[in-house]
Amino acid sequence: MTRIIRVLGTAPGVQGVQLLRVLIRINRGMKTLSKSFSRRGFGYVVTLTLLVVFTGAAGMYVFERNIPGSTLTNYGNALWWTAMVMTTMGSDYFPKTSFGRVLCFLLAVYGFAVFGYVTATIATFFVGQDANDDDAEIASEKSIKALQAEIVALRKEIQARP
């Protein structure tokens, strides 16, 4: 019986179902996290990314562990490989199974999106710092309100002229 289960576990259709299960679990995890965090901020993204890394590593391990020439023969190697893909550092190993390649692509796309989000968050921080500085080249909220008040005063002065 165990032999039959092992043979069925290596069938291409079964691996597709396994990939679908991994994606469904990631989706459930994202929904749970979004409910946990009232505002989808930086903490949400960091927690979600950790969830994606650990789940993605499990998926890569399942898909690539029995493939000849694979270096993802244990979960630790799969976790390291997934972290390198997510940080856009890359790796010397390329998935050999089609399901592994699909998962690799999804992990890379997610990694690029998170990298963009982190970059935007850092940029927003620095822009916010400059917005509070009166000498900065960026117009702060205070200087915009001062300009609006000056425009209102000029309109009143223009309307008061005969």
The answer to whether the beta carbons of residues 17 and 98 sit under 8 Å apart is: no
Residue for token digits 């270096």?
71
Predicted pLDDT of residue 73: 85
- Report the half-sphere exposure of 34 (CA within 13 A, side-chain side): 6
b/e code 107-143 from CB counts within 10 Å (16+ = b): beebbeebeeeeeeeeeeeeeeeeeeeeeeeeebeee
**pLDDT one-digit tens code per residue, 14-69:** 667 777 777 787 777 666 656 655 455 777 788 888 989 999 999 899 888 888 88
pTM score over 0.95: no
The answer to whether the beta carbons of residues 18 and 63 sit under 8 Å apart is: yes
